[in-house]
Structure 1
Amino acid sequence: MSAEEPVACARCGTLRGEDPAQALTWSTQVERGVRQWLCPDCSRTHVRDIEGKLPDEYW
């Protein structure tokens, strides 16, 4: 990922800000070889699905 490339939540589309402390709260996952980012709100909402490794279709 390049520094110019904006990071957006794969679920809701929220853009990650420039604050490094805030960036630490984001989650990442690799689904079918593609890296996806999740904002803190979506991560909290779907934590059981993520931990259970359920496919996105079940979310």
Structure 2
Amino acid sequence: MTACHRCGRSRTSVSDLEFLAWSSERTGGTVRWLCHVCAKAHVRDIEGKLPDEYWR
């Protein structure tokens, strides 16, 4: 079952369109998801993890 790592929102509780705005992160072989609400709230944290090469 896919659920948000921060708030626990279930994938089945959102529409397919809302699911397109979810964000995933792979860490050590584990995939963690952020729902569209948490992804928007934590976008600066997400961008802060991008490598320097991304911004060039």
Q: Could you state the TM-score of these two structures normalised by the residue count of structure 2?
A: 0.71
Question: Identity across aligned pairs (percent)?
Answer: 46
For residues 20 and 8 of structure 1, what CA distance do their matches in structure 2 show? Answer: 14
2:8 to 13, 22, 28: 13
Q: Which residue of 2 aligns with 1:24?
A: 20
- Structure 1: how far apart are the matches of 2:17 and 2:48? 27
Do structure 1's residue 45 and structure 2's residue 41 form an aligned pair?
Answer: yes
Q: How much has 1:16 moved relative to structure 2?
A: 1.2
Question: Which ranges in structure 1 are unaligned for 5 or more consecutive residues?
Answer: 1-5, 54-59
**Alpha-carbon offset, residue 22 of structure 1:** 2.2
RMSD: 1.8
Higher helix share: 2
- Stretches of 4+ aligned residues off by more than 4 angstroms: none
Q: Secondary structure at the match of 1:29?
A: strand
Q: How many residues align?
A: 49
* TM-score normalised over the length of structure 1: 0.68
